[in-house]
Structure 1
Amino acid sequence: MTFAASERAALGSLLLELGSDAPTLCEGWSTRDMAVHLLVRETRPDAAAGMFLPALRGHLRSVSEQVGSRDYVDIVRAWASGPPRFSPLRFLDAQLNAGEHFIHHEDVRRAREGWEPRTFGTDDTETLLAVLRRFGARLLRGSECPVILDPDGAPSIVAVERRGVTGHGSDVVRVSGTAGELLLFCFGRTESVVTVTGDRDRIRFTSI
């Protein structure tokens, strides 16, 4: 089972366990809103485009309302079963959804009291590192100073470079932690366990 698939299964089980009205770390979203987002993103590309294109946001809202009117358990199970049979996403799930499923799994886990960071084996850590390398710079590109990510046990990542300053420069903010915690940090999740050295207020988070 790929990391994306295992996170899908775990998140699906958690959504069913908590029911439709539990909180998440996504402001204004309940677990129902999360489930609707996941299903629309995966099964209605015409509407999912509204996540990126302002002209289609009305269509996204309409489709989301339609999907949200369905039974909650049905919504969760439809998403947890995986992409539609003939969808290209069925073959790209491992590449496209590893970060998505991990982030949203933690959005639900960490909205409850008593959560603790998870630990991952070598293969899953490498998957998270690959996602971090792919998206870290894009998510932090608006920062006002160089930002260096220091994943545990892996080479540093120059996420943001300014005025030619690299990892050894003086005007740098360094963020250290596990690959998963750094990924959550880059996605703007305040419930991430990282150590920041430098002026954290100069970091800016940007949506993909």
Structure 2
Amino acid sequence: MTFASAERARLSDLLLENGPDAPTLCEGWTTRDMATHLWVRENRPDAAAGMMVGPLKAHLGKVSDQAKSRDYRELVQSWAKGPGTLNPMRLADKHVNAAEHFIHLEDVRRGEVARGGELPAPRAFSERDTDALYRSLRRTAPMLLRSSTVPVVLQAPGRAPVTVAREAVAVHTPVTVSGEVGELLLWAHGRDAVHVTVAGDLAAVKRARL
């Protein structure tokens, strides 16, 4: 089982355990919204394109509303089965969904923080699973942090630092963010309910969400 598929199983269990109306770290989203997003993204690429392409947002909204009206348990279980045999995502699952499933699992797991709840401790991962998260961090950090006006150094224990620095800002004092790999990945994706320490001018760091 790949890390992406293991996280899929854990996330589907958590979605069912929490029910359709639980909070998430995604502003305005309940667990029903999360389940809808996951299903549409994987099963309706014609609609999912609306997440990036403005003219398709209306189509995305229509398809999402249809999926959201389905029985919650059935919707979650349908997504939990994974991509079908003819779905291109089936081959790409371990590459594109490692970060996606981890981040959204933590969005649900830490959802009560949005209501003033306590921040859960980070989960422990095997070396192999940490490798999968680290590859995702190295791949996505340059896109997520490219608008920062200072270099950003992401430092995890026992790992080579991931540095994002455009040539025009390389001369500035860097901001160093330290924490476990998964926490750094969440932080780079715009989450604040994370266990990291920041040294430097955080106001100069611009994070984008993919």
Name the TM-score, length of structure 2 as normaliser. Answer: 0.94
Write out the 4+ residue segments of structure 1 that deviate beyond 4 Å after TM superposition. none
Contact 2:150 2:172 in 1 (8 A): no
- Give, in whole Å, the separation in 1 of the partners of 2:19 and 2:176: 39
- Does 1:127 pair with 2:135? no
Q: Indicate conservation of the 8 Å contact 2:151/2:172, yes or no.
A: no
Alpha carbons 1:3, 1:94 under 8 Å: kept: yes
Tell me the distance in 2 between the aligned counterparts of 1:93 and 1:185. 23
Unaligned runs of 5+ in 1: none
Aligned length: 205
Kindly report which structure 2 residues correspond to 1:58-97, keeping only aligned pairs within 5 A, or say none: 58-97=58-97
Whichever residue aligns with residue 70 of structure 1, its letter is R
Q: In structure 2, the residue corresponding to 1:158 is in which secondary structure?
A: strand
> CA contact under 8 A between 1:50 and 1:57: conserved in structure 2?
yes
| TM-superposed deviation, 1:162 | 4.2
- Cα distance in 1 between the residues matched to 2:167 and 2:173: 9
C-alpha distance in 2, partners of 1:170/1:20? Answer: 46
Q: Write the distance in 2 (CA, Å) between the matches of 1:177 and 1:131.
A: 15
Partner of 2:4: 4
TM-score by length of 1: 0.95
- Asked whether 1:33 is paired with 2:38, we answer no
Residue in 1 aligned with 2:101? 101
Distance 2:154 2:196 in 1: 10
Q: Is 1:171 the equivalent of 2:173?
A: yes
Tell me, in whole angstroms, the C-alpha distance in 2 between the residues paired with 1:73 and 1:63.
Answer: 18
Q: Alignment partner of 1:196: what SS?
A: strand
Tell me, yes or no, if the aligned pair for 2:151 and 2:169 is still in contact at 8 Å.
no
The 3-state SS of whatever aligns with 2:168 is: coil
Using the TM superposition, give the Cα deviation of residue 170 of structure 1 relative to its aligned residue in structure 2, in angstroms.
6.0
| Percentage of matched positions with identical amino acids | 50
Identify unmatched segments of 5+ residues in structure 2.
none
Whether the aligned pair in 2 keeps the contact of 1:146 and 1:162 (CA below 8 Å) is no
**Alpha carbon RMSD of aligned pairs, Å?**
1.2
